[in-house]
């Protein structure tokens, strides 16, 4: 009797850093747990993750990378616009999603003759077009959710966007079905239209929304980058209603334990910083004393807002690392930063461009994180026990903020209630006083701040446990690999949930 061939899974991420990075972690994790992996990328994105590709090849992990030519010209995008963070203006986002759909035929052609034949596909929820490819190749398809379960539950399940249409006030709170007993007083979890549906309610995205929902209903199962202890109420509620297998496999960032520091430090982009210098600086700081300020891969702050943040950080008297994207595109910011960095050189480290975030957050000197609450950033903070100042911008981030501030109680809200796109381009959303006040509250030695740090350490321990043998995410990954071993031909593709 010969052993059956290993399962072969095809991973299709959304071409955006916040989606590629956890999928890459998952690729390495599944490969180490006995699966053959094919990872779909495009030429520009492949170049960004090259250190990881090289590392994978060196370590003989069974992962193949397939580069699909990206149809920029056909779709009406500028050449090279292959990642969400390269889209030059917000009105081109729907065009970007249409361009992705054009990859369907190319993907099918590349997969149909692959040996061994894929047994399973895991597609990012934003790639609903993969449903047809999986169906025509007769392979199972699982949806991967990069965002949190709290968001998936409140926006996808029950098609809540329809309920939100019934209220006129953006801030009127609606009790989300199935989420009773949210707080100590036994109240239901409530959300308002301004915060819950994220991109689901944006004009121009109706077609994508319907496709995403339909592809999710038709999928054979769901994989989520979360862990049960970080949002138990939402994971449980989701599992109850979704009617198919759900594997919670996070925090995927904890899997990134590559001993080659240069591959680890990059995590999907070339870091715009001298690693040695940064680590030396961090090593010279006291434990838990440094604040890290960064707003993910997509958010760009206007000039006025950058100056307000800088002034607030300066007034707070706390040492900080501050990540600023596209500073070089604005001479006024560059000029201002020159003076700022000179004034603050004794306690600041400014990174203009891509920061090695995972490394920074895991350093013992880092004791606070001003974050936009993207789910990866949130999980990275949680998994490293770093308390947060929450400044959500759009999408799932307002709900992630509530998880951090109300549920886990490891963060302080900076007080933003309105998504970034509802502001004027040059409008200032947060004043320097609010930056200073929240930074001082988070980083001081008082009892409340200390209790917050203790809770952050407790949830970090739970995050680590969940990824260790016997932990919930570890066991779910075992079950997922077992599931992928099943004979593909026994599988009946769902057409509707
Ligand atoms: N990231 C990073 N350096 C940066 C900006 C982002 O390493 O300068 C990583 C971050 O660690 C996270 C991902 O990019 O893994 C961003 O994902 P998130 O969901 O937090 O936010 P998004 O960029 O999708 O808004």
- Residue 2, exposed/middle/buried by CB under 10 A (0-12, 13-18, 19+)? exposed
Predicted confidence at residue 261, as pLDDT, reads 46
Tell me if 359 CB under 6 Å of ligand 1.
Answer: no
Q: What is the pLDDT of residue 495?
A: 45
* CA–CA distances in Å: residue 221 to residues 74, 183, 224, 239, 481: 33, 30, 10, 11, 13
Rounded Cα–Cα distance for residues 332 and 369 (Å): 26
Q: How many CB atoms lie within 10 A of CB 78?
A: 11
pLDDT of residue 206: 85
State in Å, rounded, how far the first CA of the chain is from the last one: 38
Q: In what order do the strands lie in the sheet with 36-41?
A: 63-67, 36-41, 8-12, 120-124, 140-145, 221-224, 245-248
> Which residue lies with its CA nearest to atom 2 of ligand 1?
357
Which residue matches tokens 């599931």?
A: 483
Tell me, in angstroms, the distance from the centre of ligand 1 to residue 396's CA. Answer: 14
For 170, residues 6+ apart whose C-beta sits below 8 A from its C-beta are 192, 193, 194
Which of 13, 14, 16, 18, when mutated, tests ligand 1's pocket best, judged by the most ligand atoms within 8 Å of its CB? 18
Contact 265, 282 (CB under 8 A): no
Predicted confidence at residue 497, as pLDDT, reads 37
Q: Which atom, in ligand 1's list, is nearest to the CA of 353?
A: 8
Test site for ligand 1: of 144, 374, 419, most ligand atoms within 8 A of the Cβ: 374
Contacts of 148 (CB under 8 A, 6+ apart): 226, 231, 234, 375, 378, 396, 399, 400, 403
Atom of ligand 1 nearest to the CA of 378: 20
Binding site membership of 392 for ligand 1 (Cβ less than 6 Å): no
Q: Show the tokens assigned to 121.
A: 């596909």
Alpha helices, DSSP H only, in 344-446? 357-361, 375-383, 397-402, 432-443
For helices 130-137 and 103-112, what crossing angle results, to 10°?
30
**In this structure, are residues 8 and 36 in contact, taking their beta carbons and an 8 Å threshold?**
yes
What is the 37 CA–ligand 1 centroid distance (Å)?
24
Per the CB < 8 A criterion, the answer to whether 273 and 351 are in contact is yes
The whole-number pLDDT of residue 488 equals 58
pLDDT of residue 476: 97
The SS3 of residue 69 is: coil
Q: Is the CB of 357 under 6 A from ligand 1?
A: yes
The C-alpha atoms of residue 148 and residue 364 are separated, in whole angstroms, by 26
Pocket test for ligand 1, best of 297, 350, 370 (most atoms within 8 A of CB): 297
21 Cα–ligand 1 center, Å: 8
Enter the tokens of residue 1: 């009797």
C-alpha of residue 297 to centroid of ligand 1, in Å: 5
pLDDT per position in the chain (497 positions), as tens?
667 778 999 999 999 989 999 999 999 999 999 999 999 999 999 998 888 888 889 889 999 999 999 999 999 999 999 999 999 988 899 999 999 999 999 999 999 989 889 999 999 999 999 999 999 999 999 999 999 999 999 887 756 667 777 888 889 988 888 888 777 888 889 998 888 767 777 778 888 988 999 999 999 999 999 999 999 999 999 999 998 999 999 999 998 765 544 444 455 566 678 888 999 999 999 999 999 999 999 899 999 999 999 999 999 999 999 999 988 888 999 999 999 999 998 899 999 988 989 889 999 999 999 999 999 999 999 999 999 999 999 989 999 999 999 999 999 999 999 988 888 888 999 999 999 999 999 999 999 999 999 999 999 999 999 999 999 999 999 999 999 988 654 544 454 43
Please give the pLDDT value at position 269.
62
pLDDT at 193: 84
Q: Ligand 1 in contact with 296 (CB < 6 A)? A: yes
User: Which atom of ligand 1 sits closest to the CA of residue 296?
Assistant: 23
Alpha helices in 49-128 (DSSP H): 50-58, 72-75, 93-101, 103-112
Q: What is the model's pLDDT at position 265?
A: 46
Extract the runs of DSSP E, i.e. beta strands, from 348-438.
348-352, 366-371, 388-390, 411-413
CA 17 to centroid of ligand 1, rounded, Å:
6
Spatial contact of 127 and 115, defined as CB atoms under 8 Å apart: no
Q: Separation of 355 CA from ligand 1 center, angstroms?
A: 9
pTM of the model: 0.94
Ligand 1 centroid – CA 397 distance (Å): 13
Both structure tokens of 432: 């320097």
CA 384 to CA 464: how far, in whole Å? 9
What is the four-CA torsion angle of 119, 150, 391, 369, rounded to 10 degrees?
A: -70
| 256 Cβ below 6 A of ligand 1 | no
Q: What letter would DSSP give residue 155?
A: I
Q: Is the CB of 394 under 6 A from ligand 1?
A: no
Ligand 1 pocket, 267 CB below 6 A?
yes
Whether residue 15 has its Cβ less than 6 Å from ligand 1: no
Pocket residue to mutate for ligand 1, from 26, 49, 362, 376, most atoms within 8 A of Cβ: 376
Among protein residues, the one whose CA lies closest to atom 24 of ligand 1: 18
For residues 308 and 292, give the distance between their C-alpha atoms in angstroms, rounded to a whole number: 16
Q: Is 266 in the pocket of ligand 1 (CB under 6 A)?
A: no
Cα separation, 463 vs 252, in Å, equals 10
Dihedral sign, Cα of residue 266, residue 268, residue 272, residue 278:
negative
Residue pair 494/219 in contact (Cβ under 8 Å)? The answer is yes
Cα(482) to ligand 1 centroid in Å equals: 31
482 CB-contact burial (10 Å; exposed 0-12 / middle 13-18 / buried 19+): exposed
Report which ligand 1 atom has the smallest distance to the Cα of 147. Answer: 19
CB of 416 closer than 8 Å to CB of 429: yes
Indicate which atom in ligand 1 lies nearest the CA of residue 268.
Answer: 7
- ipTM of the complex model: 0.99
What is the secondary structure of 326-359 as a DSSP string? Answer: TGGG-HHHHHHHHHHHHHTTTTEEEEES---HHH
């Amino acid at each position: 009797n010969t052993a059956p061939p290993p399962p072969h899974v095809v991973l299709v991420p959304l071409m955006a850093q916040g989606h590629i990075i956890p999928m890459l972690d998952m690729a390495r994790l599944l490969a180490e747990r006995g699966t053959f992996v094919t990872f779909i990328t495009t030429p520009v994105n492949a170049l960004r993750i090259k250190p990881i590709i090289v590392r994978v090849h060196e370590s003989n992990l069974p992962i193949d990378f397939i580069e699909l030519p990206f149809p920029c010209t056909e779709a009406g995008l500028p050449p090279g616009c292959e990642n969400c963070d390269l889209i030059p203006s917000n009105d081109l986002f729907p065009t970007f999603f249409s361009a992705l759909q054009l990859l369907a035929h190319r993907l099918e052609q590349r997969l149909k003759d692959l040996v061994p034949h894929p047994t399973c596909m895991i597609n990012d929820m934003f790639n609903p077009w993969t449903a047809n490819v999986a169906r025509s190749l007769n392979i199972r398809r699982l949806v991967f959710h990069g965002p949190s379960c709290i968001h998936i539950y409140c926006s996808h399940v029950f098609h809540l966007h329809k309920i939100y249409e019934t209220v006129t006030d953006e801030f009127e709170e609606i009790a989300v079905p199935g989420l009773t007993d949210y707080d100590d007083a036994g109240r239901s979890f409530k959300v308002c239209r301004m915060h819950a549906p994220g991109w689901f309610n944006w004009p121009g995205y109706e077609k994508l929304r319907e496709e995403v929902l339909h592809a999710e209903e038709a999928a054979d199962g769901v994989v989520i980058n979360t862990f049960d202890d970080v949002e138990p109420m939402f994971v449980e509620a989701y599992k109850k209603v979704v009617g198919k297998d759900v594997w919670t496999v996070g925090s995927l960032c904890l899997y990134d334990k590559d001993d080659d520091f240069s591959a680890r430090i990059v995590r999907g982009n070339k870091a715009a910083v001298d690693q040695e210098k940064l680590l030396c600086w961090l090593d010279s700081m006291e434990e838990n004393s440094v604040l890290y300020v960064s707003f993910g891969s997509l958010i760009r702050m206007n000039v006025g807002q950058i100056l307000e943040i800088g002034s607030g950080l300066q007034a707070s008297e706390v040492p900080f690392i501050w990540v600023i994207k596209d500073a070089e595109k604005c001479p006024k910011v560059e000029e201002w930063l020159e003076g700022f960095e000179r004034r603050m050189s004794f306690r600041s480290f400014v990174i203009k461009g891509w920061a090695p975030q995972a490394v920074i957050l895991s350093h013992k000197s880092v004791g606070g994180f001003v974050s936009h609450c993207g789910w990866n950033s949130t999980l990275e903070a949680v998994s490293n026990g770093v308390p947060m100042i929450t400044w959500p911008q759009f999408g799932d981030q307002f709900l992630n903020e509530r998880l951090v501030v109300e549920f886990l109680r490891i963060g302080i809200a900076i007080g933003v209630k309105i998504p970034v796109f509802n502001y004027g381009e040059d409008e200032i959303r947060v004043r320097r006083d609010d930056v200073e006040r929240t930074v001082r509250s988070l980083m001081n030695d008082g009892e409340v701040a200390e209790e917050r740090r203790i809770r952050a350490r407790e949830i970090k321990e739970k995050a680590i446990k969940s990824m260790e043998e016997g932990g919930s995410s570890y066991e779910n990954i075992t079950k997922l690999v077992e599931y992928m071993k099943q004979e593909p031909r026994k599988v009946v593709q769902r057409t509707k949930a």
